Amino acid sequence: MNAPADMGVVVVGAGDMGARHAMHWQAAGARVVAVIDRDLERAAACATPLGAEHGADLAPYLTDPDVHVVSVCTPTFLHALFTVPALQAGKHVLCEKPAALTLEDARAMRAAAETSGRELRIGFMRRFDPAYEPLMSFAKRIGRPVLAQVTITAGVRPKRLMHDAMANGGPIIDMCCHIFTQWREMFGTQPETVSARGYTFSDGKPEVAKIAQRALDSALITLEYGDGSVGQIQVSWGLPSGIDPVERHSYVGPDGLVIVDWPRRVTLRDAGGITRWASSGVDPWREEIAAFHRELTEGAERRVATIEDGIEALITSLAALRSVRERRPVSLDEVTTAPGGSRESVERA
């Protein structure tokens, strides 16, 4: 049965993502019932302007029949902790990306969704970024195989959790999941093998000195696909702080070339000449949440990423981390059949 248009939503985690979710749920026509954060001041700052309650405990809202959705915006290692009980209580869940830090957690989230029959979506909001559609359609025009390269660099991230192997997992999990899920769609399949080298360029930088289990912050990751396509990601969050983030992609195929200055510009060069696309400035989180609202209230076609998408991206990240650790190419089967996908798999190599 469809949820009512003014369905109740509880947002867990009142940081940057939680504030966005709360604002966009309200804009989509839902009613933000409460914002939950262990930091009550943050929860209040997010909830009060929306006329919502705030608190530190999700549990009371899970028995409230007027709450239909829980939006999980906590650090990644806590995603399953809030997602599983919310699903078990019969709520739909929109969980920020990446799905989880471990396969164990991600599979528990999937199992809870299957058992409850409720919807579980993962916030791969780039699907709603205006650059996404031109990128995917230009990429179809360059033939196969494709030689893909992505460079993502930034200074040491201001949030400690982004460098913590036990919190958000570092960029191989936290950032590269966006590219892994995009390439899953672009190539129509998961890679056969993943090879990676990993580094901590942040060594000696005071901002991260107190993190007990610092994640790899830099890597070169090579993905090989069955049709001969190869993708390479050069990623670093370990440059001196203050250096502006850069994200550039290039895709070379027998029939052309696509160059991306994410998320602003996408250019195709092929036999037809040069086709350029430039951003229209849409907020992808707003679009994503509006799309999920339509799915739940009108039965609209599913566009928001599933937990399966989240699991596939996580498997690729875990394969890259294992490749760094073992200094050899890793097939995805080796990750999916590993016992439990245990937490040690994300520790610094």
For 138, counting Cβ atoms within 10 Å of its Cβ (0-12 exposed, 13-18 middle, 19+ buried), the class is: buried
Q: Which of residues 95-114 bind ligand NAD (CB under 6 A)?
A: 96-97
User: Running DSSP on this structure, what letter comes out for residue 14?
Assistant: -
Q: Is 39 in the site for ligand NAD (CB under 6 A)?
A: yes
Among 16, 308, 326, 344, binds ligand NAD (CB under 6 A): 16
Q: How many H helices and E strands in the chain?
A: 11, 15
Among 10, 71, 76, 296, binds ligand NAD (CB under 6 A): 76
**Minimum CB separation from ligand NAD for residue 98, in Å?**
6
* Region of 75-83, 145-153, 204-212, 265-273 interacting with ligand NAD (CB under 6 A): 75-83
**Minimum CB separation from ligand NAD for residue 4, in Å?**
27
Nearer to ligand NAD, 124 or 225 (CB): 124
Query: DSSP string spanning 56-78?
Result: S-SHHHHT-TTEEEEEE-S-GGG
* Region of 74-82, 181-189, 214-222, 293-301 interacting with ligand NAD (CB under 6 A): 74-82
Cβ(314)–Cβ(99) below 8 Å: yes
Nearer to ligand NAD, 212 or 274 (CB): 212
Strands 92-96 and 273-278, sheet pairing: unpaired
Among 3, 33, 68, 75, binds ligand NAD (CB under 6 A): 75
Q: Is 163 in the site for ligand NAD (CB under 6 A)?
A: no
**Minimum CB separation from ligand NAD for residue 223, in Å?**
20
Joined together, the tokens standing for residue 340 give 């439990």
Among 4, 29, 42, 136, binds ligand NAD (CB under 6 A): 42
3-class DSSP assignment, residue 282: coil
**Minimum CB separation from ligand NAD for residue 219, in Å?**
17
The full 3-state SS of 113-132, as one line of letters, equals HHHHCCCEEEECHHHHCCCH
Q: 345 to each of 102, 114, 287, 303, how far by Cα in Å?
A: 8, 26, 34, 31
Which residues bind to ligand NAD, rule: CB under 6 A? 12-18, 36-39, 42, 73-76, 78, 96-97, 123, 125, 159, 161, 168, 174
